[in-house]
Amino acid sequence: MRTIGRLLLSAIFLVLTVLLVLAAKYAPALVFSFYPEFSRKLLSVISSVTRVIPLAVWELLAGLAVLWLLYTFVRIFTQRRSFLCWLAGIVLGVCVGLFLFVALWGLNHFGPTVGEQLGLSVREYTKQELTDATRYYAAQVNALADDVSRDNQGLARLSSFEELSKQAGAGYDKLAARYELFTGSHDPVKKLATWRMFSQFGITGIFVCFTGEACVNPDTYEVWLPFTMCHELAHRQTVAAEDGANFCAYLACMENESPEFRYSGAIAAYVYCHNALYKADKTAASEIWQSLKEGVRADIQAANTHYAQYEGKVQDAATKVNDTYLKAFSEEAGVQSYGEAADLLIAWYLEKK
């Protein structure tokens, strides 16, 4: 009977989850008239509790969950428990977790885009517009390149993870005065304790809505650390789409008084636009690349070398899982959506122009 009861509860939570998603898809005007603000406030409350613990709470809970699963699995054989009941318990846990994920934060995948919320006109751009935008961000990163410390090899050397973490929310503090989108929690990001595993998966950061924690892999190449921190904080502002989170990270970096954040944001903006331009016009992309200061090129090449060491089957498998998740939650481009930040960056450039 316990097995049947767990399966019935699982079905109920699964149906509730589907109903929430259907409501977001077919009644967006109703759902998103209140849901984003509800989500931001709830995440802020949760974050205010978990922030007092320096470690990532979700990692601790995940570890305990694994130990509990192993313990209960062993009991199946030592105490002759029902395997089907144990399996039904896992199914129930997954269904409850999925429901909470969608209710707390996941529906934001179906909401208005960052472009719509910030009043940007995103469309298909001409090759010339893409070229001009790439040149603009190249000039921006060149102007900021001398504001950061460098070693004897000419590579940028930034502050410690802990110092950067404390500063990451400062840009969002300023943005919040102009945009309601950024009025969520700006609590510091946390360092992933299991960073070696995440490096193998090719993951530089993660936002966990259950604990309201924005976590970053300390193995992220340091020039990208400030930008990555702001990216994960963007998710806590209810920006679910990856391209939107990248663009918001750029805005937050440029609003930050720290030269390290501004340089990190500018180099990320240039890279996204360069990659888009390279697909459309390799000659123009190469010409702009040559216009970069030697230190900027060195930082980008060093980052590429750093990440290349983790390429392989494990990272490919993790990428496929992430791609499946993003497509399931209405991001049709999947992992390619990370690079679509270029569209928002071009729109931002054209508006400033």
pLDDT band at 330 (very low <50, low <70, confident <90, very high): low
- What is the residue-averaged pLDDT of the chain? 92
- In angstroms, the CA 149 to CA 157 distance is 5
In angstroms, what is the C-alpha Rg of the chain?
A: 22
pLDDT band at 338 (very low <50, low <70, confident <90, very high): very low
Q: Quick one: pLDDT at residue 232?
A: 98
Longest CA span, the chain:
72
Q: Quick one: pLDDT at residue 331?
A: 57
The answer to whether 267 touches 250, Cβ cutoff 8 Å, is no
Q: Is the pLDDT of residue 121 over 90?
A: no
The answer to whether 171 touches 256, Cβ cutoff 8 Å, is yes
Going through 195-253 in order, the beta strands assigned E by DSSP cover: 205-208, 213-216
Q: What are phi and psi of 157, to 5 degrees?
A: -125, 115
pTM: 0.93
The answer to whether 277 touches 285, Cβ cutoff 8 Å, is yes
SS3 content of the chain, % helix, strand, coil (to 5): 70, 5, 25
What DSSP string runs through 99-138?
HHHHHHTGGGGGS--HHHHHT-------HHHHHHHHHHHH
127 or 352, greater pLDDT:
127
The answer to whether 253 touches 230, Cβ cutoff 8 Å, is yes
The answer to whether 334 touches 327, Cβ cutoff 8 Å, is yes
Q: Which amino acid is at 116?
A: E
Q: Quick one: pLDDT at residue 334?
A: 42
The answer to whether 138 touches 145, Cβ cutoff 8 Å, is no
**Burial class, 124, CB count within 10 angstroms (exposed 0-12 / middle 13-18 / buried 19+):** exposed
Q: Tell me how far the alpha carbon of residue 325 is from its chain's centroid.
A: 13
Q: Quick one: pLDDT at residue 130?
A: 94
Q: Is 38 helix (H, G, I), strand (E, B) or coil?
A: helix
Per-residue pLDDT reduced to its tens digit, 68-101: 999 998 988 888 778 888 899 999 999 999 999 9
Q: Quick one: pLDDT at residue 337?
A: 38
The residues pairing with 205 across neighbouring beta strands, listed in sequence order, are 216
